């Protein structure tokens, strides 16, 4: 399959002045119109999560609460070329998390975050299950202030393997409702492990070692503690500052799945790493100051390659024959995401993403799940997203609106009949907040 990838952006600013023998026009650049409005006073509530602070205390310096709520409405319609249609309309408690952060012994941080109710599962009934559902993150980070190696840190516990630009970006700051199909296809969830970072040779580096699975109860609930009966994995990522505007990122994740024959979760209850034996991503993050009220134009890109996936059964209800993907399936794809601040608070975001193989992911997956269907396996997946973010209190409180169009072929296994194609529209409205 051949396709071209074009990424790039440029901004050009010009200024003029007029001068004569006895007069000169001077432009007042200090802010000729009212701008950069301060956040409303009530926005300070999101900053009042500190329970205790005393930098002179030799043991505990700070204790604070941490949490986020992301709620969203989705209206979807996914159509198959056979004439079948799958639609859904619902409000989803996408994320509701509570936790605490403790800074102690000056150089150490303990962080713990829990998914509340079923907010990390179906997300439609927060009262389902225990109040504290599963562990989202739980780690201790050591970041010595005086150390021979610049930028050195060690983090031990359940944490994110920060590969690809979208997956490494926290959901608190993510620009779109959901991450791209190629990103969700090649990543999985936060895993138990250890990560070490440092600066050397003009680069920022991080090396990680991970457990491939975790424990959970038969109904899929429970805290998801580390399971040493799983297989393992490793990661490496590097960041290079190309110039004041652009950073270049290289990410690699290894999940021990025996070239796709055995899941990296091993004998654990659930998978924590990628379904792919190898995931490689090369990405960029760029931003340019628009010269007014800290408004910016930015561009985020990623080219992603996943090699040797574990086998994936497809949806045989749509079309005829089987579209099961055998072990060893590869995928490639890319993400291009420009954004611009239209005003101090209003942000416009666009995203085009491609994957040549992927299981149906968010947001479109829910249209199938809510109609009692399993998620189909697809190829030649294109998505186009356009959205607006209104930041009432920065990322601490923002309203989001977005539309995403999907076009894909159903995956057709070798020697199987054509499975047809899919097209779909997803409309989204949401609120996101964190403290």
Phi, psi dihedrals of residue 253, rounded to the nearest 5°:
-130, 125
In a domain, 2, yes or no: no
In a domain, 283, yes or no: yes
Q: What is the pLDDT of residue 322?
A: 64
In a domain, 174, yes or no: yes
Domain enclosing residue 62, as ranges? 48-434
Distance, CA of 431 to CA of 391 (rounded, Å): 10
Distance, CA of 327 to CA of 256 (rounded, Å): 14
Distance, CA of 71 to CA of 434 (rounded, Å): 12
Q: What is the pLDDT of residue 273?
A: 97
Which run of H or of E encompasses 64?
strand 60-80
In a domain, 22, yes or no: no
In a domain, 39, yes or no: no
CB 171 within 8 A of CB 137: no
**Overall number of domains in the chain:** 1
Q: What is the pLDDT of residue 8?
A: 36
Residues in contact with 350: Cβ distance below 8 Å, sequence separation at least 6, in sequence order: 337, 338, 339, 384, 385, 386, 387
For residue 27, list its beta bridge partners. Answer: none
Residue with tokens 């070692």: 209
In a domain, 11, yes or no: no
In a domain, 35, yes or no: no
Token pair recorded at residue 30: 């200090």
Chain-centroid distance of CA 87 in Å reads: 25
Distance, CA of 331 to CA of 333 (rounded, Å): 7
Interior angle at CA 364, CA 362 and CA 366, nearest 5 = 80
In a domain, 33, yes or no: no
Nearest to 167 by CA among 67, 6, 281: 281
Per-residue pLDDT of the chain (435 residues; tens, 9 = 90+): 434 333 333 322 233 333 334 444 444 444 445 666 677 889 999 989 999 999 999 999 999 999 999 999 999 999 999 999 999 999 999 999 999 999 999 999 999 999 987 665 556 667 666 788 889 999 999 999 989 999 999 999 999 999 999 999 999 999 999 999 999 999 999 999 999 999 999 999 999 999 999 998 766 667 899 999 999 999 999 999 999 999 999 999 999 999 999 999 999 999 999 999 999 999 999 999 998 888 999 999 999 999 999 999 876 666 555 678 999 999 999 999 999 999 999 999 999 999 999 999 998 998 888 888 888 999 999 999 999 999 999 999 999 999 999 999 999 888 788 889 999 999 999 999 999
Nearest to 338 by CA among 327, 330, 329, 347: 347
Distance, CA of 106 to CA of 396 (rounded, Å): 27
CB 233 within 8 A of CB 255: yes
Averaged pLDDT score across all residues of the chain: 88
CB 271 within 8 A of CB 265: yes
CB 333 within 8 A of CB 387: no
pTM of the model as a whole: 0.88
The CATH number linked to 74 is 2.40.160.10
Span 317-329, pLDDT tens digits? 665 556 789 999 9
DSSP 239-306: EEE-SSSEEEEEEEEEE-SGGGTS-TTTTSSEE-S-SEEEEEEEEEEEEEE-SSTT-EEEEEEEEEEE
90 HSE (CA, 13 A, CB side): 17
């Amino acid at each position: 399959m051949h396709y071209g990838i074009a990424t790039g952006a440029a901004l050009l600013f010009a200024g003029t002045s007029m001068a004569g023998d006895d007069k000169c026009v001077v432009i007042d650049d200090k802010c000729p119109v009212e701008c950069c409005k301060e956040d409303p006073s009530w926005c300070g509530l999101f900053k009042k999560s500190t329970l205790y602070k005393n930098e002179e205390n030799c043991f505990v310096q700070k204790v604070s609460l941490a949490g986020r709520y992301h709620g969203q409405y989705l209206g979807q319609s996914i159509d198959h070329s056979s004439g079948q249609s799958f639609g859904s309309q619902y409000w989803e408690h996408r994320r509701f998390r509570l936790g605490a952060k403790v800074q102690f012994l000056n150089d150490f941080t303990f962080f713990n975050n829990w998914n509340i109710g079923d907010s990390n599962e179906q997300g439609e009934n927060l009262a389902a299950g225990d109040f504290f559902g599963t562990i989202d993150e739980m780690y201790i980070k050591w970041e010595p202030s005086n150390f021979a190696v610049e930028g050195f840190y060690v983090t031990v516990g359940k944490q994110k393997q920060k590969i690809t630009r979208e997956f490494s970006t926290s959901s608190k700051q993510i620009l779109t409702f959901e991450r791209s199909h190629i990103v969700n296809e090649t990543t999985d969830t936060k895993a138990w492990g250890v990560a070490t970072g440092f600066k050397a040779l003009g680069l920022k580096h991080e090396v990680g070692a991970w457990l491939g699975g975790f424990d959970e109860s038969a109904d899929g609930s429970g805290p998801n503690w580390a399971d040493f009966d799983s297989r393992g994995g490793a990661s490496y990522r590097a960041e290079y500052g190309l110039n004041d505007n652009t950073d270049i990122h290289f990410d690699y994740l290894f999940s021990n799945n025996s070239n796709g024959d055995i899941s990296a979760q091993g004998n654990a209850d659930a998978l924590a790493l990628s379904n792919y034996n190898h995931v490689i991503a090369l990405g960029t993050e760029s931003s340019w100051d628009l010269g007014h009220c800290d408004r910016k134009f930015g561009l985020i890109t990623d080219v992603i390659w996943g090699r040797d996936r574990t086998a994936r059964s497809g949806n045989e209800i749509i079309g005829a024959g089987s579209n099961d993907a055998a072990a060893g399936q590869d995928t490639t794809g890319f993400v291009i995401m420009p954004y611009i601040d239209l005003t101090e608070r209003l942000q416009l975001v666009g995203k085009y993403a491609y994957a040549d193989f992927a299981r149906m992911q968010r947001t479109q997956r829910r249209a199938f799940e809510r109609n009692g269907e399993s998620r189909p396996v697809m190829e030649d997946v294109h998505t186009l997203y356009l959205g607006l973010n209104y930041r009432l209190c920065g990322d601490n409180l923002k309203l989001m609106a977005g539309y995403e169009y999907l076009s894909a072929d159903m995956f057709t296994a070798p020697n199987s009949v054509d499975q047809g194609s899919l097209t779909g529209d997803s409309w989204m409205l949401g609120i996101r907040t964190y403290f």
